Amino acid sequence: MVCVKRTTSRIPALFLTLVRKVGYNLKYEWYISDCFQSIMINALARPTSLLTAHHPGRTQGATSQGEQAYVLIKRGIIRLEYPPASLLNEAELMQALGIGRTPIREALQRLALENLVVILPRRGTMVADLNLSDLQKISEVRLELETFAARLAAERARPEHLVTLENLLVAKEDVSESDDHHQLIELDQQFHQLIAEAAGNEFLAGELRGLYDHVIRLWYHALHKVIDPLGVSLNDHARIAAAIKAGDGERAAKVMHAHITSFQVEFQAAL
């Protein structure tokens, strides 16, 4: 992008107030004015300090026992190793994970905030159940947010995002020839999370990350009942990636909308 020097009088007052607060050197105000779009795109790609500061486990070196307990229990819930509506015994979790009671309780409290467990007073902690109502509610929200994310990703994706999208498609095609459902689901999750990241909005990505945890539970619950869901998913992903690479936000959003709608219909029939 070529920037031509202009007077600072043409710079939007609100934007100048913003750049002053974030510490840009106003000697280059003319550059900021003419490169407004590029700067905003780059700024959107940077982590939001507020979100980063309040996102558990986002900080470097987060390897506390509470974090370990959270990751391990969450994985067990998502993969249905802890069945829906089953009670979680703290003593058994302590023994199985080799982690103390306090970190286990901290992990369960975090999982309760994510609606993956329900803490029952004087009874213990129950794994959240799965039902048709859950699928309907998750799909309603996901349909809007992922469609929006795909549109934004087509506008804001950086070259490294596009390269990673292609690599994920290749990896998924290779794994699809095997019966490694764990790996296929993991790649599916990475694909959707990458699009959310490419959208350049950490708040949107955070919401989608939480929703997708519940989506994966549904995958594991109904995977054996749905005809070739991952094969259909691969075709849809290729079309979504192509639209994002072409910078076609409308097409990316349209294909994503159809992809999630198809998911809902197939899984609703299987539950």
Kindly state whether residues 118 and 145 are assigned to the same domain: no
Task: Check pLDDT > 60 for residue 55.
Answer: no
The residues with which 126 forms a beta bridge, in sequence order, are: 87, 118
The model's pLDDT over 192-232, given as tens digits with 9 standing for 90+, comes to 999 999 999 999 999 999 999 988 888 888 776 665 555 56
Q: Is 56 contained in some domain?
A: no
Kindly state whether residues 170 and 264 are assigned to the same domain: yes
Which carries the bigger pLDDT value, residue 95 or residue 264?
95
Average pLDDT, rounded, for the chain: 78
Mean pLDDT of 97-126: 94
CATH number of domain containing 233: 1.20.120.530
Mean pLDDT of 86-114: 95
Kindly state whether residues 194 and 216 are assigned to the same domain: yes
Which residues constitute the domain of residue 116?
Answer: 62-127
Q: Does this model's pTM top 0.75?
A: no
Kindly state whether residues 155 and 198 are assigned to the same domain: yes
Tell me if residue 125 falls in helix, strand or coil: strand
Kindly state whether residues 123 and 242 are assigned to the same domain: no
Kindly state whether residues 247 and 210 are assigned to the same domain: yes
Are 80 and 116 contacting, i.e. CB atoms less than 8 angstroms apart?
Answer: no
Kindly state whether residues 71 and 173 are assigned to the same domain: no
Kindly state whether residues 138 and 243 are assigned to the same domain: yes
The model's pLDDT over 172-199, given as tens digits with 9 standing for 90+, comes to 888 877 767 788 888 889 999 999 999 9
Q: Is 53 contained in some domain?
A: no
Mean pLDDT of 80-107: 94
Q: Is 1 contained in some domain?
A: no
Alpha helices for 114-248 (secondary structure H): 132-156, 159-175, 181-198, 202-222, 229-245
Kindly state whether residues 187 and 95 are assigned to the same domain: no
Phi then psi for residue 69, to 5 deg, are -60, -40
CATH number of domain containing 101: 1.10.10.10
Kindly state whether residues 197 and 258 are assigned to the same domain: yes
Are 156 and 190 contacting, i.e. CB atoms less than 8 angstroms apart?
Answer: no
Please tell me the predicted confidence (pLDDT) of residue 57: 43
Q: Is 255 contained in some domain?
A: yes
> Final residue of a domain: which of 111, 127, 143?
127
d(CA 222, CA 271): 7
Q: Is 52 contained in some domain?
A: no
Kindly state whether residues 186 and 92 are assigned to the same domain: no
Which carries the bigger pLDDT value, residue 226 or residue 139?
139
Kindly state whether residues 115 and 148 are assigned to the same domain: no
Q: Is 231 contained in some domain?
A: yes
Q: Are strands 87-88 and 124-127 parallel, antiparallel or unpaired?
A: antiparallel
Q: Is 263 contained in some domain?
A: yes
Task: Check pLDDT > 70 for residue 8.
Answer: no
Q: Is 57 contained in some domain?
A: no
Task: Check pLDDT > 80 for residue 151.
Answer: yes
Are 255 and 236 contacting, i.e. CB atoms less than 8 angstroms apart?
Answer: yes
Which carries the bigger pLDDT value, residue 239 or residue 35?
239
- For the chain, what is the domain count? 3
Sequence letter at residue 70: Y
